[in-house]
């Protein structure tokens, strides 16, 4: 039927209205998800991870006894990851978001590649006996992981990653005997420092 006039023709087509509503809901959902990813990084979890590193630095033997030294730090890293995961879980539950929502998955997926690369490189380095390079490799790759995982997050998270990378570079210029100190300053100090800021400023 040829009905001219903008008002009439709009009434005849309800589809844009529905489409707009659907689009609106999607927009709200995406904004909320992105906003939640802003602060999904757990401050208290970071502090706990830092404490683990400090404890490991005391427990670890001299870096010259490579195998036991590596075992202590590997155990500490597993422990720290468990604490970090617990921190993410706890914070997501408190804020009321699903733990593995899109931002959460994005965070884990961005962290995974550099950490796997770190595992492979560590294995190779251990084979060559140049284990004094391990703190540098670990700090650098952990920093890379945090930067990429935190690129959707509040600015302080990628900044923390950058500090880890700088600590890795600094570790390169430290004498091998300082291995535990470097690890304590990097994984202990930086985690505790940034964990405290995140917990204080971004809700736990």
Partner 1 sequence: MPAAAAADLDRLIHERMRLGIVSGLAANESLSFSDLKKLLATTDGNLSVHARKLEDAQYIECEKYFEGRLPKTVYRLTTVGRRALEHYLDQMESLIHSMRGH
Residues found near partner 1 in the complex (CB under 8 A): 7, 10-11, 14-18, 20-22, 24-25, 27-28, 31-36, 38-39, 95, 97, 154-155, 203
Give least dist CB 153 to partner 1, A. 10
Please state the closest distance from residue 10 (CB atom) to partner 1, in A: 5
- Do 38 and 154 contact (CB within 8 A), yes or no? yes
Helix 134-149 to helix 102-128 angle, to the nearest 10 degrees?
Answer: 170
Contact 66, 77 (CB under 8 A): no
CB-nearer residue toward partner 1: 35 or 59: 35
DSSP state for residue 13 in the 8-state scheme: -
Judge whether 89 and 20 are in contact, CB under 8 Å. no
CB 202 within 8 A of CB 46: no
Comparison of 117 and 197: residue with beta carbon closer to partner 1: 197
Q: What is the DSSP letter of 189?
A: I
Distance CA 47, CA 24 (A): 39
Residue 110 Cβ vs partner 1, minimum distance, rounded to whole Å:
17
CB of 32 to partner 1, least distance (A): 4
Distance in Å, CB of 88 to partner 1, minimum: 15
Using a 10 angstrom Cβ sphere, with 0-12 exposed, 13-18 middle and 19 or more buried, the burial of residue 94 is exposed
CA-derived radius of gyration, the chain = 23
CB closer to partner 1, 69 vs 152: 152
Closest approach, Cβ 38 to partner 1, in A, equals 6
């Amino acid at each position: 039927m040829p009905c001219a006039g903008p008002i009439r023709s709009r009434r005849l087509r309800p589809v844009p209205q529905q489409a707009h509503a659907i689009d609106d809901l999607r927009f709200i959902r995406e904004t909320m998800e992105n906003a939640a990813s802003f602060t999904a990084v757990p401050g208290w979890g970071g502090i706990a991870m830092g404490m683990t590193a400090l404890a490991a630095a005391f427990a670890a033997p001299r870096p010259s006894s490579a195998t036991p030294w590596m075992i202590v730090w590997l155990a500490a890293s597993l422990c720290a990851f468990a604490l970090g995961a617990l921190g993410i879980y706890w914070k997501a539950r408190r804020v009321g978001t699903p733990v593995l929502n899109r931002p959460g998955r994005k965070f884990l997926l961005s962290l995974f590649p550099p950490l796997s690369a770190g595992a492979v490189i560590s294995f190779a380095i251990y084979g060559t006996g140049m284990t004094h390079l391990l703190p540098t490799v670990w700090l650098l790759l952990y920093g890379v992981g945090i930067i990429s995982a935190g690129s959707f997050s509040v600015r302080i998270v990628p900044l923390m990653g950058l500090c880890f990378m700088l600590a890795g570079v600094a570790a390169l210029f430290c004498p091998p005997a300082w291995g535990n100190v470097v690890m304590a300053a990097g994984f202990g100090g930086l985690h505790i420092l940034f964990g405290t800021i995140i917990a204080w400023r971004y809700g736990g």
